[in-house]
Amino acid sequence: MTIQLYGFWRSNAAFRVRVALALKKLSFEEIEIDILSGRQFDAEYAEVNAEHVVPTFVHDGHRIFQSLAIMEYLDDLQPEPRLLPADAKERAYARSLALVSAADAHPLVIPRVRKYLGEVLSADAAAIDAWVRHWTVEGLATYERLLSRRPADPFALGTAPTIADICIAGQIVLAELHGLDLAAFPGVAALGKRCFELPAFANAHPFRQPHYLAKKH
Amino acid sequence: MTIQLYGFWRSNAAFRVRVALALKKLSFEEIEIDILSGRQFDAEYAEVNAEHVVPTFVHDGHRIFQSLAIMEYLDDLQPEPRLLPADAKERAYARSLALVSAADAHPLVIPRVRKYLGEVLSADAAAIDAWVRHWTVEGLATYERLLSRRPADPFALGTAPTIADICIAGQIVLAELHGLDLAAFPGVAALGKRCFELPAFANAHPFRQPHYLAKKH
């Protein structure tokens, strides 16, 4: 089995898939698509991914896009360790938690949206930053409310990390990238600490990626 | 089995779940939460849904939120007719297609985002409308590219409608709500026509909901 991942060090969706692959102990080659420079719109990559987004996952030549679809596929490809719980109600809760970031909070802060705010709505850098922080905090606050109702023990769904923890960790990464303090979200912060103690999460972090490190930020 | 759905006539995510329930021939009671008036933030509903969004699906008292998680759960609850294909690669493609609208296009045009554009960024009605049209067209254009690579035959994944068709139909509903012409997207338009010929889709349309009709628009 050969796996390639078209990703980007800073892409939150690519982060999710890197964690999932690491939890499954599946090795892969990552191909960097610089979405901050608009490389996702290049003709060559547009052929790979008709939505012009990262990541694209390639398994023995078969392409899959959208991080949640990829993670679900990984559970089909290699069931253990499970990224989704075996029980249907628990699986539904894991998906709901994952979608809070993947379908509600994160889509609002991606590069093409920030670009539109600046170029079309003439928002300045401070206004764009405030936008990103606002929606990132909304996601964190939702997770905090959910985790206060059902505390992580030690992970969101129980003993092992699932797609829920992966997406919550991704939301924490967004907070870090935009200088947000997690003090108001103690449940989220504690869960994040447990996640990033695991090498699968830590090594997938944007700041640990070769292309980030090569830039010597 | 008793099913309740906290929804709203205009909510695209609630539309998806109404279609899914109808395809499964599962009867349900819909409880209207007027998200245009901000009723999703009321304390009573916040207790039902910690994310303050619609829909919330309630199955024998058990609550599930996020439309994709709900549709996946419906397939667990009552497998036939399947909303997701049996084959893993096909299931992944169905999820990818569904997420184009659910996780990328639709989140950008929901009421709380339009409200922020107006109240915080001082965008006027025309600018907000242009924003909504821009991201709605982006979703339609992505679907058109995908359907040109793999034409619907007759539905996106083959003989029967899946979550992919439900989300594509939802994207068409967004286009209708915002006065967009589908002429530039013939593959999407043709698939939408086939979907809305089915009562499950037609009866779930926002303009067929009691609360919309009661307002005599």
What residues of chain A lie within 8 A of the CB of B72, using their CB? 91-92, 95
Q: Does A16 touch chain B (CB under 8 A)?
A: no
Nearest to A95 among B72, B77, B149 (CB): B72
Asked whether residue A133 is assigned to any structural domain, the reply reads: yes
What residues of chain B lie within 8 A of the CB of A185, using their CB? none
Single out the residue in A33, A57, A81 at which a domain terminates.
A81
Asked whether residue A215 is assigned to any structural domain, the reply reads: no
Are residues A130 and A191 part of one domain? Answer: yes
What residues of chain B lie within 8 A of the CB of A120, using their CB? 127, 130-131, 134
DSSP A61-80: TEEEESHHHHHHHHHHHS-S
Contact assignment for B62 to A89 by CB distance below 8 Å: yes
Are residues A196 and A107 part of one domain? Answer: yes
Separation between Cα atoms, residue A175 and residue A136, nearest integer Å: 7
pLDDT band at residue B217 using 50, 70 and 90 as cut-offs: low
Tens digits of per-residue pLDDT, B147-172? 999 999 999 999 999 999 999 999 99
Contact assignment for A108 to B113 by CB distance below 8 Å: yes
Residue type, A68: L
**So what's the pLDDT on residue B216?**
63
Asked whether the beta carbons of A23 and A83 are under 8 A apart, the reply is yes
pLDDT less than 70: residues of chain A: 216-217
Q: Is the pLDDT of residue B92 over 90?
A: yes
Asked whether residue B119 is assigned to any structural domain, the reply reads: yes
Q: Which domain holds residue A36?
A: 3-81
Q: Domain tally for chain B?
A: 2
> Of all helices (H) and strands (E), which one includes residue B59?
strand B56-59
- Sheet of B3-7: strand order equals B29-32, B3-7, B56-59, B62-65
Q: What is the mean pLDDT of residues B27-36?
A: 94
**So what's the pLDDT on residue B215?**
80
**So what's the pLDDT on residue A215?**
80
**So what's the pLDDT on residue B80?**
97
**So what's the pLDDT on residue B191?**
98
Separation between Cα atoms, residue B183 and residue A6, nearest integer Å: 33
Q: What is the mean pLDDT of residues B176-204?
A: 98
Q: Does A141 touch chain B (CB under 8 A)?
A: no
Single out the residue in A81, A102, A129 at which a domain terminates.
A81
Q: What is the mean pLDDT of residues B16-21?
A: 98
What residues of chain A lie within 8 A of the CB of B88, using their CB? 73, 76-77
What residues of chain A lie within 8 A of the CB of B102, using their CB? 99, 103
Separation between Cα atoms, residue A159 and residue A47, nearest integer Å: 40
Contact assignment for A68 to B99 by CB distance below 8 Å: yes
Asked whether residue B216 is assigned to any structural domain, the reply reads: no
Asked whether the beta carbons of A48 and A56 are under 8 A apart, the reply is yes
**Mean pLDDT over each residue of chain B, to the nearest integer:** 96
Are residues A59 and A137 part of one domain? Answer: no
Could you tell me the pTM of the whole model?
A: 0.97
DSSP 8-state secondary structure symbol assigned to residue A209? S
Q: Does B41 touch chain A (CB under 8 A)?
A: no
Are residues A95 and A73 part of one domain? Answer: no
Asked whether residue B208 is assigned to any structural domain, the reply reads: no
**So what's the pLDDT on residue A217?**
58
**Phi and psi dihedrals of B64, rounded to 5?**
-135, 135
Q: What is the mean pLDDT of residues B25-40?
A: 94
**So what's the pLDDT on residue A197?**
98
